[in-house]
Amino acid sequence: MSKQTTEEIDNLDKIKSTQVLELIRVAHEFCVFTESIESKDTTEILSFYQKVLPLLYLKGSLIPTVTVSDESFNERYVNEEFWETVFMNFKTKFDKDEYFWIVDANNEPMKASIAEHFADIYQDLKDFVILFQNNRLAAKENAVFEVKKFFAIHWGPRLTAVLPTIHQLLYAKQILSSEEEIDI
């Protein structure tokens, strides 16, 4: 019987934490819905993401820091072909509303794509969910480590960038009506 190190016990406690398990639950729900958007109408899609994106952001910000004991268990599962499928599903659904403007690091306006943002978020979260399902501690360590890292540099920023556009698309009529009232 092998004796667990203090670091392994600490990592195991973090991996079994409420914060990680709740992110797994919400990420899984996000992925399942994303995989089924072809059968949903645009309002239903926008309404779902309006609610789940802030929750994902909150859960992602609470992920504990873990130490990876074996990097060889770090794997990516969503390949380019699958990413492209998710991308095209969003592109088709949002059609003329697919592009929005963001400000880059130099404060310059830049055209961005809803489809690209969602495909990127999906890829990071799906990889996390699949890798976390592996029963090996090292795989779970890598899953938590990577989702936390990508939250900071990849899926977190994309999530916060696309959320205002979702709001505007959902409430376009009310926003337009309110702007017309102000002009009077």
For 48-87, write each residue's pLDDT tens digit: 999 999 999 999 999 999 999 899 899 999 999 999 999 9
The pLDDT, as a whole number, for residue 105 is 84
Contact 142, 74 (CB under 8 A): yes
CATH T-level topology, domain 6-183:
Four Helix Bundle (Hemerythrin (Met), subunit A) (1.20.120)
Distances (CA, A) of 64 to 13, 16, 27, 59, 146: 10, 11, 16, 10, 11
Domain ranges for the chain: 6-183
Contact 128, 76 (CB under 8 A): no
Beta bridge mates, 101 = 111
Residue type at 42 in one-letter notation: T
In this prediction the pTM is: 0.90
SS3 for 25? helix
